[in-house]
Amino acid sequence: MGERRITSQILRSSRSVCANFAEAWQKRRYKGAFVSKLNEVEAEAAETQTWIEFAVLCGYLDAETGQELYQRYSEILTGLKRFIENADAWIIK
């Protein structure tokens, strides 16, 4: 897989994190829909981490930058886990 393809995948999955979170936020009237969409956000964030790893392994991204980006997505995943575990606090009543 070439640099352009990996870059495209990182852009797609990282944008999907933001877009799917916006959708999840609008689904707060229904806990099941909210949590389901947050699970999709988690999957996209994990996919982004995987593409970052590939970019580093292929030499398209330096290790330091890759590690920093990977860590930021780990923080995002931690936050998403908290949202899911405490979904009731965010539901619109």
pLDDT digits 0-9 by tens, 12-21: 999 999 999 9
What's the domain count of the chain? 1
Q: Is 92 part of any domain?
A: no
pLDDT digits 0-9 by tens, 19-54: 999 999 999 999 999 999 999 999 999 999 999 999
- The residue range of the domain holding 34 is 3-86
Q: Which position has the token pair 């352009």?
A: 4
Token pair belonging to 68: 């920093």
Q: What is the CATH classification number for the domain harbouring 35? A: 1.20.1440.60
Q: In the chain, what is the straight-line distance between the N-terminal and C-terminal CA atoms, in Å?
A: 47
Q: Is 93 part of any domain?
A: no
- b/e map 36-65, b = 16+ CB within 10 Å: ebbebbbebbbbbbebbebbbeeebbeeee
Q: Is 26 part of any domain?
A: yes
